[in-house]
């Protein structure tokens, strides 16, 4: 994360400290911003969740696809619920964390415990996980969705920059099963891999695809090498973009150097195909971006996510 780390951001948010800091940075703008309607739900489009040293949900390095990265503190379901209460967030999408790898049980536990508050996408296929052409992958996906109640997968071809597997025909059975199940695939990738998304979006229009982290564009490079390749996917109605600003940004919050790219995305895709994510970007998206209308915010902060990710009901 550029400029400021995730833990620092979350710490500053406690007690409204981050709000005060950004109000100082953007004096005069917050007071005139159009807030979303009070009756609208805010949905955080991506958070991780994990426990350390927990006997019920142990972290097994053999299953992890980032075995050399180990958390030093909990980022638990209870923590997420507390943050959601503080910031007025109704629901959160859990992106299953790499520490657990193919063991999706903690994300499943979160969803089953609070189906009305959490949806989750899992990890199954790709770097450090099951090989893309494994014939068991469609069955694994079906179990993950029907038994474990997850809504889809995160695919991360960014870790295989020099390989092409996401749109390899060996993956077609997985995508066909995803289309049958109404799955969502979040895609974490590099700009040169975006054409693979377009290929699969065309072949499998029933799979909803969410581009993560602005495809990690390098904003020091020409637009044709980055944002233009994202915008080219607008013609596929099953493609959405998560508005995470922090990774491509070269600045500290509120990541102003990313605002022109956010504007291009907004002008091309529109608010109904944009999904807000991360606790520490809520105030940016809700109060600081000058070109969002109140109705835009209703979609970007919640309604789009609700149209993409299925949440259950509390029993």
Please, what are the domains in the chain?
Answer: 6-308 (3.20.20.140)
Rounded to an integer, the average pLDDT of 149-154 is 98
Rounded to an integer, the average pLDDT of 262-285 is 97
Asked if residue 288 has pLDDT above 60, the reply is yes
Instruction: Tell me what percent of the residues of the chain surpass a pLDDT of 90.
Output: 85
Report pLDDT digits (tens) over 25-35: 443 333 333 33
d(CA 64, CA 52): 14
Phi, psi of 46 (to 5 degrees): -170, 120
Contact 238/211 with Cβ under 8 angstroms? no
Asked if residue 37 has pLDDT above 60, the reply is no
Average pLDDT, the chain: 90
**How high is the pLDDT of residue 29?**
37
Instruction: Give the 3-state secondary structure of residue 266.
Output: helix
Phi, psi of 107 (to 5 degrees): -60, -40
**How high is the pLDDT of residue 17?**
41
- Sequence-distant (≥ 6) Cβ neighbours of residue 271 within 8 angstroms: 292, 295, 296, 297, 299, 300, 304
**How high is the pLDDT of residue 39?**
53
Report pLDDT digits (tens) over 52-73: 999 999 999 999 999 999 899 9
Contact 186/152 with Cβ under 8 angstroms? yes
Q: How confident is the model at residue 40 (pLDDT cuts 50, 70, 90)?
A: confident
**How high is the pLDDT of residue 115?**
98
Of 148, 225, 233, 235, the residue nearest 195 (C-alpha): 233
Q: What Rg do the C-alpha atoms of the chain give, in angstroms?
A: 19
**How high is the pLDDT of residue 36?**
39
Left if phi > 0, otherwise alpha if psi is -120 to 50, otherwise beta: which for 182? left
Rounded to an integer, the average pLDDT of 81-91 is 97
**How high is the pLDDT of residue 28?**
37
Rounded to an integer, the average pLDDT of 95-101 is 98
Of 223, 298, 234, the residue nearest 266 (C-alpha): 234
Rounded to an integer, the average pLDDT of 247-267 is 97
Left if phi > 0, otherwise alpha if psi is -120 to 50, otherwise beta: which for 293? beta
d(CA 20, CA 148): 41
Please count the other Cβ atoms lying within 10 Å of the Cβ belonging to residue 3: 14
Contact 176/138 with Cβ under 8 angstroms? yes
Asked if residue 93 has pLDDT above 50, the reply is yes
**How high is the pLDDT of residue 314?**
83
Helices (H), the chain: 6-13, 17-25, 77-87, 105-113, 137-146, 172-181, 194-203, 227-231, 259-269, 282-283, 294-298, 304-308
């Amino acid at each position: 994360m550029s400029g400021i780390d995730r833990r620092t951001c979350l710490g500053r948010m406690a007690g409204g400290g981050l709000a005060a800091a950004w109000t100082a940075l953007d004096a005069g703008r917050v007071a005139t911003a159009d807030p979303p309607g009070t009756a609208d739900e805010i949905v955080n489009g991506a958070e991780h969740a994990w426990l350390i040293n927990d006997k019920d949900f142990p972290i097994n390095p053999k299953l992890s696809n980032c075995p050399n990265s180990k958390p030093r503190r909990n980022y638990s379901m209870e923590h997420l619920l507390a943050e959601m209460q503080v910031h007025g967030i109704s629901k959160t999408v859990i992106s299953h964390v790499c520490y657990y790898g193919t063991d999706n049980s903690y994300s499943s536990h979160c969803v089953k415990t609070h189906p009305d508050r959490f949806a989750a996408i899992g990890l199954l296929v790709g770097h450090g996980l099951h090989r893309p052409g494994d014939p068991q992958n469609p069955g694994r996906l079906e179990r993950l969705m029907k038994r474990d109640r997850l809504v889809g997968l995160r695919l991360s071809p960014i870790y295989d920059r020099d390989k092409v597997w996401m749109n390899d025909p060996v993956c077609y059975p997985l995508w066909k099963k995803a289309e049958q199940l109404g799955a969502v695939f979040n895609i974490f990738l590099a700009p040169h891999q975006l054409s693979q998304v377009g290929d699969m979006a065309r072949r499998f229009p029933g799979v909803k695809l969410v581009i993560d982290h602005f495809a990690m564009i390098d904003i020091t490079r020409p637009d044709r090498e980055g944002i233009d390749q994202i915008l080219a996917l607008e013609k596929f109605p099953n493609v959405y973009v998560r508005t995470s600003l922090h990774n491509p940004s070269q600045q500290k919050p509120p990541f102003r150097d990313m605002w022109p790219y956010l504007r291009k995305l907004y002008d091309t895709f529109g608010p109904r195909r944009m999904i807000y994510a991360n606790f520490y970007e809520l105030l940016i998206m809700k109060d600081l971006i000058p070109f969002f209308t109140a109705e835009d915010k209703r979609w970007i902060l919640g309604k789009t996510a609700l149209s993409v990710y299925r949440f259950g009901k509390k029993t």
